[in-house]
Amino acid sequence: MTEEETGKINKFDCILASARKLIEQEGFSSFTMDKLANNAGVAKGTIYLYFKDKNDVLENVLKSGFQTMFSRMTDKVEKKETPEEKIKTLIYENLLYIGENKYFFKTVFLDEMHVVFLKKTSQESYNLRRRKYAVFISEIIIKGIDEGIFKNLLDPLKAGFYLISLIKTNAIYNFRNNKVEFNEDLIKSEAAEIFDIFIDGIKN
């Protein structure tokens, strides 16, 4: 991708655009400086005139992918009056931004975790396990919908994934805040919190 092709004026932006494109196409794990040089139409040494090292390239790609999102979102959200409207707007704007940068976010989101270190076939079995879990939850939800307890409006399988993500987020939050000591009471209250938000939402 030369300067004319990308429409970028300077080499920094040109290399960055190539890096992003490569990452979107092939993911983080197969991203190499040789490929980047080749793809950007410059010599390998040239990259090092504009970026400190590979980490610097990756950091800039991620930065550029996320940077406009936050400012655009806050602009839109702050125009709204009520907390509910603000949250509604935030969700919409966020999904819109993801849609506009779909190839970027597809890689960033799907190139998840350790999965990156596994071969394709192992990744598939890993994802199947997760899916099996979501299916199990979806069956419970379907039963609840049939009984009229749960809303009929949403894809039960997706709801299963939603619940899994809430549980995972809870764990990550506690890990990050060094609440590593799990006692039974703590787990009970955390579980009740997740249950409450999933079943009833945050509304009073």
Partner DNA sequence: TTGACTTATGACTATAAAGTCATTATAATA
Partner DNA sequence: TATTATAATGACTTTATAGTCATAAGTCAA
- State which of positions 91-120 bind a copy of itself (CB under 8 A): 91-92, 94-96, 98-100, 102, 105-106, 108-114, 116-119
| Per CB under 7 A, 61 contacts DNA | no
User: 14 vs 163, which CB is nearer to DNA?
Assistant: 14
- Cα separation, 163 vs 2, whole angstroms: 45
In the complex, least distance from residue 91 CB atom to a copy of itself, rounded to whole angstroms: 5
- C-alpha R_g of the chain: 22
Separation CA 197–CA 129 (nearest Å)? 25
53 lies in the site for DNA, by CB under 7 A: yes
Select from 50, 39, 38 the least CA-distant residue to 17.
Answer: 39
Q: Classify residue 135 by its DSSP letter.
A: H
Pick what 34 binds: DNA, a copy of itself, none; C-beta below 5 to 8 Å, kind-dependent. DNA
Query: Which of 27, 144 has the CB closer to DNA?
Result: 27
Which residues, at least 6 apart from 118, have a Cβ–Cβ distance to it below 8 Å? 126
Residue 33 site contact among DNA, a copy of itself, none (CB < 5 to 8 Å, cut-off depends on kind)? DNA
Question: Would you say how long the chain is, in residues?
Answer: 204
Window 134-163: contact mask with a copy of itself (x via CB under 8 A): --xx--xx-xx--xxxxxxxx---xx-xxx
